[in-house]
Amino acid sequence: MNPTIELLLNRKSVRAYENHPIEAGTKAEILKATLRAPTAGNMMLYSILDVTDQAAKDTLVKTCDNQPFIAKSPWVLLFLADYQRWFDYFIACGVEQLCERKQSPLRKPAEGDLFLACCDALIAAQTAVIAAESFGIGSCYIGDIMENYETHRELFDLPRYVFPVSLVCFGYPTGQQKRREQPQRFARRFIVFENRYQRLDSGDFDEMFHEQQERAFKDKADMDGCANVGQLMYLRKFSANFTLEMTRSVRAMLAAWIQD
Ligand SMILES: Cc1cc2nc3c(=O)[nH]c(=O)nc-3n(C[C@H](O)[C@H](O)[C@H](O)COP(=O)(O)O)c2cc1C
């Protein structure tokens, strides 16, 4: 098997880190590779914050749904979807005057621009994850960074057209994390289709979730009043408080982003 495929197949999230820092040279190489990630229009519609301030990490533990390992990670990178830099550049270049001359309204970053910037930021994040992995450095995404938008905006001085779309914790994995079993994935036929999207029916779902169902409900008839994985995921993830907060927070960000 080629070493890139082997690396990709063996990766798993790492949430407990050895107590030693990542060398500056290694960080520099990871960042160099990260900045080579594909980017829409070669515009690099993202910024990366290296969160070195321990007090900020401690705050992130709380604002990201109480995940203590964030504070213990030796390298925490915040990936920001960023249209501010380009919009500031447009203004600095006199696009307002250009628009006046052309008698067309000044266009500001809108929803599509935000999604594109999120794509850029996430692709950069995943590039960093894989580059780190190649040095034996584990990582874990923190999706909860999309919660508490107002707090994060203030904590990191984020302007209007910058959205913290992903936080990634890095560190050398502890022995326990190295030994930890890799989570399973759904079979390819449920995820990869040819030409046309395929809605799944209840027979497909029985097959798709069979193993998870067996594992989760082994020796238990019921969990939280739930009879199956779907009910459990609905309660514990899809309608959980952190998910509701994420929706509120993203709406608040979007309202600020698209206001006139
Ligand atoms: C967008 C995104 C957000 C995530 N957020 C969290 C998180 O907040 N906390 C956490 O412990 N893991 C988080 N993860 C890691 C996933 O739980 C993990 O990737 C998944 O369980 C599969 O496990 P694996 O990465 O070990 O294969 C996140 C992953 C992604 C891609």
Percent of the chain having pLDDT more than 70?
99
Q: Which residues of 64-101 are buried (b: 16+ CB within 10 A; e: fewer)?
A: bbebeebbebbbbbbbbbbbbbbbeebeeeeeeeeeee
Place of tokens 């209007």: 160
Distance 226 CA to ligand 1 centre (A): 23
Report pLDDT digits (tens) over 231-254: 999 999 999 999 999 999 999 999
Best mutation site among 9, 141, 168, 181 for ligand 1 pocket (most ligand atoms within 8 Å of CB):
141
Rounded CA separation 31/48 (Å): 9
Please give the pLDDT value at position 223: 86
Report pLDDT digits (tens) over 82-131: 999 999 999 999 999 999 999 999 999 999 999 999 999 999 999 999 99
Distance 14 CA to ligand 1 centre (A): 9
pTM given for the model: 0.97
Q: Which residue's C-alpha comes closest to atom 29 of ligand 1?
A: 141
Q: Which residue's C-alpha comes closest to atom 15 of ligand 1?
A: 141
Please choose, from the candidates 11, 153, 143, 167, the residue with its C-alpha nearest in 3D space to the C-alpha of residue 76. Answer: 167
Q: Which residue's C-alpha comes closest to atom 28 of ligand 1?
A: 141
CB neighbours of 142 closer than 8 A, spacing ≥ 6?
60, 64, 67, 70, 166, 167, 168, 169
Report pLDDT digits (tens) over 147-182: 999 999 999 999 999 999 999 999 999 999 999 999
DSSP annotation string for 10-42: H------B-SSPPPHHHHHHHHHHHTTS--GGG
Model confidence at 218, in pLDDT bands (50, 70, 90)?
confident
Q: Which residues line ligand 1 (CB under 6 A)?
A: 12-13, 15, 67, 140-144, 183
